[in-house]
Structure 1
């Protein structure tokens, strides 16, 4: 399943790495794309959406919206 998260607080490549690593700790096979300018994180994963959202939150960023694509 592909999920798109609108995320606040990301501003640099460190943020991209932190979010990507946090998601991959929940699902090592996840495909993650981060668009800093748009504040979007697109994840292709079999993990539950809540688990992925929690991973982003735990990394220190705020998920403001979630959409399945």
Structure 2
């Protein structure tokens, strides 16, 4: 869906990249300083690992963590 939205908006090809990597590869890439922004959905532990790997790079992070927590279920759900 992100790619479809970017295409519809006329943004340059290759601007959006979706990567499937293991933990070690992810840590190396995030620590490289070559990434400007990361969106991550997953566990709190995963979010902590991403923050640690990104420390000092000045990249921005979007973290959606612990989505299965029942505290997030609203009364109208």
TM superposition score normalised by structure 1? 0.26
Higher relative contact order (CA 8 A, sep 6+): 1
Q: Which has the higher helix share?
A: 2
* Bigger Rg over Cα: 2
Q: Which has the higher strand share?
A: 1
TM superposition score normalised by structure 2? 0.25
